[in-house]
Structure 1
Amino acid sequence: MFSNAIRIASSRAVRFCPSASRHISVACNQSIDKLYGILEEYRASHYSQEFPKRFRKDVVKAACSKSSCPGLISAEGIESILHNIGASNQMPRSEIESMLKEICDGNGSAEDYCTISVDQMFNLLSNRGAA
């Protein structure tokens, strides 16, 4: 039973951590840039006294709290963030789901098809500022 739990945990780690050398599509990149832009605009006007890293941590924590699986971020979590900051009309649900599906490489069952790890979300938001 214990070895079964390890196998399940390790398969989840692979599922939600796609290869760093894998390239994503232009459309996905545009969606990530769009999400980053929406969040950055909000940060600049409402979190201007905070460090950007603190804001990213708060965003990831809030998105994770809306997920049914601990440590994972779903389309619902991102959609909830956008709704809470008054930007729900700026990025449709279908675009969020497409972005997450490509990031997680389409692995997994139907219920976790659109989830990414907290680390992946934090990296997405962190690496956009450097690009």
Structure 2
Amino acid sequence: MSSTRLWLGIVILIATAFLFYNVANAFLADSVEQIGLRSVVIALLSAFAGGIVARNGFVLPAIALWLALWTVTVYFLYAIAAPVDPNPLPGIARHNWAAFLGSGVATIVGAQLGQALVKKRASHPAAT
């Protein structure tokens, strides 16, 4: 496993997620249902792109990045809600559980699919 490819895969995951979120925010409405679904689709596509670049060993770094991003998200939501709600964590969990679990599963599946695609192409040489 090349650490350069792994780091490049992480950079690609972050860059594609940033790009997809900005495109989605520019063109799609912001309903609660769409935001959850959008999170899942973007996690899947970004992890897939990162998995293609990294080629192998990408699932754990992708999950670590996903967990770090959700940790920061929950922290900021807590910081926003804490002044008006003495116990905001149950409400945060109630409103974000589907996006949290869905994007986690999508990250795992996307990273594995990206790696599998590269392995399949490597095992089948191009016809000439």
Q: Same fold (TM over 0.5)?
A: no
Q: Structure 2 length as normaliser, TM-score?
A: 0.31
Q: Structure 1 length as normaliser, TM-score?
A: 0.31
* Higher-helix-fraction structure: 2
Q: Which has the higher contact order (CA 8 A, sep 6+)?
A: 2
